[in-house]
Amino acid sequence: MTAASKPANEYVVRTKGLVKEFTMGGETLRALNGVDLDIIRGEYISIMGPSGSGKSTLFNAIGGLDKPSSGSVFINDVDMAQLDASELAYLRCHTIGYIFQSYNLIPVMTALENVTLPTIFAGMPTDEGIERGIEMLNKVGLGHRLHHRPSELSGGQQQRVAIARSLANRPSIVLADEPTGNLDLKTGTEIIELLRELNKNEGVTIISATHDYKMVDVSDRVVWIRDGKVAKIEERADLDIKVGEIEGEH
Amino acid sequence: MKSETGTQAASPAIQRQIHLPFSKAWEISLKSIRIRLLRSVITAAGVCLGIAFYSSVKTSGLFPMSGDPHDPAVIAAGHRQEWLAIMALLVCAVGITNSMLMAVTERFREIGTMKCLGALNRFIVTLFFIEAGLMGLVASVLGWFSGWFIVCVVHLVTEGPHVFTAHVLSASLKQAVISTTIGVVITLLAAIPPAVNAARMPPAVALRTTV
Ligand SMILES: Nc1ncnc2c1ncn2[C@@H]1O[C@H](COP(=O)(O)OP(=O)(O)O)[C@@H](O)[C@H]1O
Ligand SMILES: [Mg+2]
């Protein structure tokens, strides 16, 4: 999984002609309108767009949390539509980690129990799961809050627990939907830096839907979406030039 | 898998998710009941009261009635008691269905989250099955006992110990089993359909609901 030995299947996620329609009261709304996207293994990619542009819908489709109306999602070259419920659960458990705006920790469980839960679903022995949970919580800087419940933690700390949980089964992809949406500027920046660090150190692909411009700085690529379509894709190099231009103007 | 070069390390093949042992579900369910104790107690209290009422009506019926057993008034009183017992169960069923619907709806988000982490639908249903079954069991046993106990004390005080015949005692035992079974079945019937429904939702739908 290191950058040096680049695997042959370079793309970890590919979407082809992704369409998602919602029907409400006889009216059909196209939240996704033909999204083609290739995400490179190990990159940090941000999906940027205004509220209502379809970011969460795309997040759900890539994460196998909702079925698209048409088009396909390939994870590691496997067409998600071909998977049955049990294989989909395996994929969610082992291959993808999820981070949400509202953290979505299980309120009745402690930080450690929350992080250990995916290892239980993966069938890992209890001792090993706890060990892994402690390791992950240490990694996100919460080694001293193992036995606190979510209600006893700050927003930033809860999001750190959620990040630790998303990594518990060492997924190849971490999907984040507005991970800084509920956080103040400083805490949000810390979370973004943590995600970047994990992306670099663990080689995990990070796909983050956001309208937080702080995210642009750390991204390898930024996908701009508007009205359910990819408006443009910017590479790191383009982004650097743009930042340079802006600085040059002042 | 169409990976020609066979770099499985980077993209391990997708397997079937394992079924977790019952003991894991048991562990999580117990924790869930314990931590939501107040809520669990209130839900269980509904079942307990319903079954207590049912049990008291049924226990009263065990003791010989004063008056001529062929007297139409006495027969009518007997029928009225049957009706009371059935009404008690109906009220109990409606109340518990409401509580369970609430309890499941309140946890849509948690259910969606667990599915994101790899839970199978079956596991979600098992969790609710254990929680509802346990609450139903404890509440029904308590309910049966309190109904039975109160009626027995009343008869003991008003008529003396001679009314406690072997027949009354063995019939009481039988009613303990029947009352408990009814209580558990009602609780499970109320809990399982909403739990199955919630477990089947795509996680995105379960996660979007805000209660
Ligand atoms: N379950 C749903 N039912 C109906 N409309 C939906 C649903 N989910 C999303 N939408 C609509 O789809 C569009 C895209 O939504 P979303 O993906 O949540 O946008 P974003 O995350 O970029 O803010 C919006 O117009 C939204 O109202
Ligand atoms: Mg959104």
- Inspect the interface and report whether the beta carbons of A85 and B120 lie closer than 8 Å: yes
Residue nearest to atom 17 of ligand 1 (CA): A54
pLDDT at B211: 58
Nearest CB to B3: which of A1, A77, A120? A77
| Among chain A residues, CA nearest to B207 | A104
Closest ligand (CA of A58): 1
Q: Report the pLDDT averaged over residues B79-94.
A: 86
Using 50, 70 and 90 to split pLDDT, how confident is the model at B201? very high
Contact flag B4-A41 (C-beta cutoff 8 Å):
no
Whole-prediction pTM? 0.88
Residue B87 clears pLDDT 90, i.e. is over it: no
| Angstrom distance (rounded) from CA B211 to CA B203 | 16
Q: Do the chains contact at A63 and B15, CB–CB below 8 Å?
A: no
How far is the alpha carbon of B89 from chain A, nearest alpha carbon, in Å?
A: 32
Q: How far is B136 from chain A (nearest CA, A)?
A: 21
Band (pLDDT 50/70/90 cuts) for residue B1 is very low
Q: Return the higher-pLDDT residue of A206 and B92.
A: A206
Task: Point out the ligand 1 atom lying closest to the alpha carbon of residue A51.
Answer: 23
User: Mean pLDDT over all residues of chain B?
Assistant: 87
Which of residues B9 and A161 earns the better pLDDT score? Answer: A161
* Residue A39: φ, ψ to 5°: -110, 125
Average pLDDT over every residue of B128-153: 95
User: So what's the pLDDT on residue A236?
Assistant: 82
Q: Which atom of ligand 1 is nearest to the CA of A22?
A: 4
Contact check, Cβ <8 Å, A100/B207: yes
Model confidence pLDDT, tens digit, residues A159-176: 999 999 999 999 999 999
- DSSP-based helix, strand, coil % in chain A, nearest 5: 40, 30, 30
Report the alpha-carbon distance of residue B132 to residue A183 in Å, rounded.
37
Indicate the angle between helix axes B121-159 and B166-200, nearest 10 degrees: 160
Per-residue pLDDT, B92 = 84
Q: What's the one-letter identity of residue A128?
A: E
Q: What ipTM score was computed for the predicted complex, to two decimals?
A: 0.90
Low-confidence ranges of chain A (pLDDT < 70): 1-8, 241-250
pLDDT recorded at residue A249: 45
Helix extents (H) in chain A: 55-62, 85-94, 111-121, 126-139, 155-167, 185-202, 236-249
3-state secondary structure chain B: CCCCCCCCCCCCCCCCCCCCCHHHHHHHHHHHHHHCHHHHHHHHHHHHHHHHHHHHHHHHCCCCCCCCCCCHHHHHHHHHHHHHHHHHHHHHHHHHHHHHHHHHHCCHHHHHHHHHCCCCHHHHHHHHHHHHHHHHHHHHHHHHHHHHHHHHHHHHHHHCHHHCCHHHHHHHHHHHHHHHHHHHHHHHHHHHHHHHHHHHCCHHHHHHCCC
Interchain contact, A172 vs B10, CB within 8 Å:
yes
**pLDDT (0 to 100) of residue B80:** 86
pLDDT band at B9 (very low <50, low <70, confident <90, very high): very low
Atom 16, ligand 1: residue with shortest CA distance = A54
* Residue A54 CA to ligand 2 centre (angstroms): 7
The pLDDT, as a whole number, for residue B91 is: 85
pLDDT at res. B59: 92
> Which ligand minimizes its atom distance to the CA of B204?
1
Which of A60, A66, A85 lies closest to B121 in CB terms? A85
φ, ψ at A74 (rounded to 5°): -110, 125
Of residues B1, B4, B203, nearest to A78 (C-beta):
B1
**CA separation for the pair A96, A90 (Å, rounded):** 9
